[in-house]
Structure 1
Amino acid sequence: MENNTFRYNFFLSLFVFGVVCGLTLIVLSTWADLEAAYYGFARRAGSGLRGLSCPVLMTRDEVNTITLKVTNPTDRKLSPAIRMEISSPAMAFLYSDYVELQAGESTVKEWEIGPENVDLKRFIFAKVLVYASYPVPDRENTCGVFIVDLPGRGAGVARGGGGFFLFLW
């Protein structure tokens, strides 16, 4: 009887630990995106932009990429300009680009982020604006990356924590 109670308490403790780890990862990833929305980037567009992809977690010395997939949904050629702002401790880095897209065509743009982009000690923020190209309006989006002080890579931390959470579930 005492052996069953010990096993029950042990597995219950593991389960609770897994739930806490999983919820912590969810909160950290949501927190970074929420902070990015209020970071101080100027709002220039009324429409949301799909296709912006940021890592959820990164370690302090890790280098990773932010990607943007831009698609031409029209039946004519478009030539939108792209403005990307990425945080830094002093002033945001500003990148500008110009793409030409045939009808239905897509392209992917990438920007490298690393330790030089960490701001507020724990975050990397990014904002992208795709300028209007008639008939498509201005579109913008933000994303945030939470910086963890753990060994390895942020993706490994997220996968390991998520896998542990699911294993215990």
Structure 2
Amino acid sequence: MSARAWRWLGGGLLAAGTALALVWSALLVWANGEAAYYGFPHVARQHLALHCPYFVAQDETTTISATITNTNPHPTTFGIQSWLSLPLGLDTLTEHRRLAPGEAWHWSREIGPENRDLRYFVFASVYVFGGYPIPQRQSTCGAFVVPVQGISGNTIWWGGTALALILAVIGFGFWWWGQRNVHIPTNTRLAAKFFFVLTPLSLAVAMWGPWMLGVAVLVVGSMAALIFISGWVAYGH
């Protein structure tokens, strides 16, 4: 296969992998952005390590979870108040548990199709209180509802994530092999490298970073995409 063919094949695979990563990231950032303004009470500023699904299927029932540990040297009572989205309001639940020093409470709550709202989302907010001097903590999250049934959203998310990374790695390798000893505009080279980094970066930020940072990564990534695609098409590289 000619060097030009390697470049076109590699560029196409790299673009496909990055596009899939950006779509996945955009859906998750959209869900978390909507959750931030959904109308949950905002009680505490300290962040709670809340584990939420990224995608859920239309018919799926899954869980959100958090772990609360009593770091006080004495028994302490903790409370957890959780809110789940409903089409006509909020589903609120308050629970209490007394923990011995060093004991952990592995809390979880089910979310299902009944919590779907705004057509495409499930939202949740969890607030932990009590246990002074341990600070109050709260986190909010959103999950995107995938229009499929019979397969878990977790499978769809991680399957798409793996596919995006594989396409990006193989595509970049093919493109890099085909561009050796060929003059290619510097902007195109930089954009290809940037895309290679952007694929895992956008997914990581969407999963673990603030949703506003995710928006910034998506905007910058889209601008770089225009540079890469225009250079690739114009110069045939």
How far 1:43 sits from its partner (Å)?
1.2
How far 1:95 sits from its partner (Å)?
1.0
How far 1:102 sits from its partner (Å)?
1.0
Correspondence 1:12-161 to 2 at 5 A: 12-50=11-49, 52-150=50-148, 152-161=151-160
**Contact between 2:70 and 2:131, CA under 8 Å: does it hold in 1?**
no
The residue that corresponds to 2:213 in the other structure is none
Distance in 2 separating the partners of 1:25 and 1:46: 28
**Where do 5+ consecutive residues of structure 2 fail to align?**
169-237
Which secondary structure state, in structure 2, belongs to the residue aligned with residue 163 of structure 1?
helix
How far 1:4 sits from its partner (Å)?
5.2
| Counterpart residue identity of residue 138, structure 1 | Q
How far 1:14 sits from its partner (Å)?
2.1
| Counterpart residue identity of residue 97, structure 2 | V
| Counterpart residue identity of residue 18, structure 1 | G
How far 1:23 sits from its partner (Å)?
1.4
Identity %: 35
Which secondary structure state, in structure 2, belongs to the residue aligned with residue 99 of structure 1?
strand
Higher mean C-alpha displacement, 27-36 vs 66-75: 27-36
Number of corresponding residues = 167
**Contact between 1:58 and 1:153, CA under 8 Å: does it hold in 2?**
yes
**What is the Cα-based RMSD across aligned positions, in Å?**
1.7
Distance in 1 separating the partners of 2:43 and 2:4: 60
The residue that corresponds to 2:217 in the other structure is none
Distance in 2 separating the partners of 1:6 and 1:47: 53
Which secondary structure state, in structure 2, belongs to the residue aligned with residue 110 of structure 1?
strand
| Counterpart residue identity of residue 79, structure 1 | T
Distance change >3 Å, CA 14–CA 150, structure 1 → 2: farther
Distance in 2 separating the partners of 1:163 and 1:69: 28
**Where do 5+ consecutive residues of structure 1 fail to align?**
none
Higher mean C-alpha displacement, 86-95 vs 33-42: 33-42
* Larger Rg, first or second structure (1 or 2): 2
Distance in 2 separating the partners of 1:10 and 1:60: 36
| Counterpart residue identity of residue 165, structure 1 | A
- TM-score relative to the length of structure 2: 0.66
Distance in 2 separating the partners of 1:160 and 1:129: 31
**Contact between 1:132 and 1:139, CA under 8 Å: does it hold in 2?**
no
Higher mean C-alpha displacement, 142-151 vs 81-90: 142-151
Q: Which has the higher helix share?
A: 2
Which secondary structure state, in structure 2, belongs to the residue aligned with residue 80 of structure 1?
strand
